Structure 1
Amino acid sequence: MVRSYAIGDIHGQRARLEAAHDLIAEDRARVGDSDAPVVHIGDYVDRGPDSRGVLDLLMRGRAEGRPWICLKGNHDRWMRFFLDPGCKPEPVKPGISWLEDRVGGAATLGAYGVDAGHHRDPVRIHAEARAAVPAAHLAFIDSLPFSYRRGGAFFCHAGVRPGVPLEEQDPTDLMWIRGEFHRDRRDHGALIVHGHTPVDRVTHFGNRVNLDTGAGYGRPLSAVVIEGRDVHLLTPEGRVHVPPEPGRESG
């Protein structure tokens, strides 16, 4: 049996990320598995109070040799584009600034000690941000893969383009897609494990599982264990089965 753990969109919630890893450690101890990977499906930054701490934690875990897979989310790329010398816009949302409240970049910079308030000159903010964010954090974001496949599961941040082989998916779709993917009921060749679009609870749609339970909006951060196509939510009381609900749709 192939076992994997996965954690939904984190959005600067370091304390909740630590709690999610505690739940995974408890499940590992119950089943006697120290090797199954933990897949983080992206969006480590923005909106929450400690994006810097989240990146530090993930980087330290990987440096210590923990079996952690960290995928790239759209907010991670958005931050990286902002911090380029030319302050590039996110290509999917060229008219929206990363610093806008609805995106959450200002909260991210706050964790690095940079005041990104609306009253300040954006050029000055950009200069201070480039000086404050460690090069190691940018290199970490640059190193992140867009997907990971293990057993019968395919992990990515947002979803996949229906009808396109998994190995040929476009990175922008893997980080940004919503409607076309959510509406498609066909089997994609693997169980797609994703986030990106908040749902009230971890939901198994038959051909996909959405793990984004809204940590970026102050709601819970969810961790699951996946065995084949069976999904269980991890809670302080133990596993809770997440059955398929193929009649539902999100986003």
Structure 2
Amino acid sequence: MRAYAIGDIHGQLDLLRAAHALIDEDRQRTGDADAPIVHIGDLVDRGPDSAGVIAYLIDGLAQGKNWIVLKGNHDRMMEMFLRDHPMVDTQLLIDYNWLHPGIGGIETLGSYGVEVPDGIRTYQLHPKARVAVPDAHRQFLAQLSALYRYGDLCFVHAGIRPGVSLEDQTEDDLCWIRGAFHASTADHGPLIIHGHTPVDEVTHYGNRVNIDTGAGHGKALSAVVIERREVWLLTPDGRVPVARA
């Protein structure tokens, strides 16, 4: 049982292409062309080419590639803003929205050619954004799943609520949870592969593996291969084992 996973992308198309190249090299070494590649969410925001990332993923899926693309909190915020009537994610701080300078929505709209000048109001910006972002991109974001189960592995963006069955997890938790999940040493059943909270390097905690290494903050985008419950970081020199913390 083998699967590949790629951490939070955040509009870094060049890094995403490089991650796929590392996976292709590992596939050639193993002779396994069928193992799924799971993109852990946060496809957009902060980086320079969120539009290109979404187009790349849509194109790969249309070609029939065995890719799984999960919903991250940034993808959810973008999709909610682009609805017929823009919405703000209730998990955000009270004075935040997708276009807050710390979130990254401004950079995402910029990748679609939409400027967000100071002082513009939502009613002025929203119709421009709806025109600029293709329907196919909006529909793609809207239909993303928040959880993918594969054998003894469970892939989510942020984590799970400890003590709650996988079937009863909420999208709020799957896209946003941190504290309770990070603090838990419980056996969740499957090994949870997640991102959302940047770490300096891919870290295996025994019951979960965090693969977000900060691409949204100018750092690395990590690609890993998982076999059973063992994890390797993929590098230009091959696999590097990820020891359990």
Shorter chain as normaliser: what TM range?
over 0.9
The answer to whether the aligner puts 1:127 opposite 2:164 as a matched pair is no
Match of 1:61 in 2: 60
Match of 2:86 in 1: 87
Match of 2:145 in 1: 145
Normalization by structure 2: what TM-score?
Answer: 0.98
CA RMSD of aligned residues (A): 0.9
Match of 2:22 in 1: 23
Q: Structure 2 CA distance, aligned partners of 1:58 and 1:92?
A: 26
Q: Structure 1 CA distance, aligned partners of 2:117 and 2:224?
A: 37
Q: Structure 2 CA distance, aligned partners of 1:117 and 1:166?
A: 42
Deviation at 1:85, TM superposition (A): 2.3
The answer to whether the aligner puts 1:40 opposite 2:36 as a matched pair is no
Instruction: State the Cα deviation string for residues 211-234 of structure 1 (Å, max 9, x = none).
Output: 100100110000000000000000
Q: Structure 2 CA distance, aligned partners of 1:30 and 1:12?
A: 29
Deviation at 1:191, TM superposition (A): 0.5
Matched AA of 1:45:
V
SS in 2 for 1:233: strand
Deviation at 1:151, TM superposition (A): 1.6
Deviation at 1:167, TM superposition (A): 1.9
Match of 1:108 in 2: 108
Match of 1:211 in 2: 211
Deviation at 1:142, TM superposition (A): 1.2
Instruction: State the Cα deviation string for residues 97-121 of structure 1 (Å, max 9, x = none).
Output: 2111110000000000000132433
Deviation at 1:176, TM superposition (A): 0.4
Q: Structure 2 CA distance, aligned partners of 1:45 and 1:10?
A: 7
SS in 1 for 2:68: strand
SS in 2 for 1:136: helix
* Contiguous gaps of at least 5 residues in structure 2: none
Matched AA of 1:230:
E
Matched AA of 1:73:
G
Instruction: State the Cα deviation string for residues 133-155 of structure 1 (Å, max 9, x = none).
Output: 00000110111111111121100
Q: Structure 1 CA distance, aligned partners of 2:122 and 2:160?
A: 35
Match of 1:186 in 2: 186
Match of 1:8 in 2: 7
* Contiguous gaps of at least 5 residues in structure 1: 246-251
Q: Structure 2 CA distance, aligned partners of 1:121 and 1:168?
A: 38
Q: Structure 2 CA distance, aligned partners of 1:229 and 1:117?
A: 48
Deviation at 1:84, TM superposition (A): 1.5
Matched AA of 1:174:
L
Deviation at 1:95, TM superposition (A): 3.0
Deviates more, 1:166-175 or 1:133-142: 166-175
Q: Percent of counterpart pairs with the same letter?
A: 57
Q: Structure 1 CA distance, aligned partners of 2:145 and 2:83?
A: 19
User: For the Cα contact (< 8 Å) 1:106–1:117, is it kept in 2?
Assistant: no
Deviation at 1:165, TM superposition (A): 1.0
Match of 1:75 in 2: 74
Match of 1:52 in 2: 51
Normalization by structure 1: what TM-score?
Answer: 0.95
Deviates more, 1:95-104 or 1:179-188: 95-104
Instruction: State the Cα deviation string for residues 1-49 of structure 1 (Å, max 9, x = none).
Output: x000000000000000000000000000000000000000100010000
Match of 1:230 in 2: 230
SS in 2 for 1:186: coil
Q: Structure 1 CA distance, aligned partners of 2:139 and 2:97?
A: 22
Q: Structure 1 CA distance, aligned partners of 2:32 and 2:26?
A: 8
Q: Structure 2 CA distance, aligned partners of 1:102 and 1:92?
A: 15
Instruction: State the Cα deviation string for residues 69-89 of structure 1 (Å, max 9, x = none).
Output: 001111001001111122111
Matched AA of 1:123:
Y
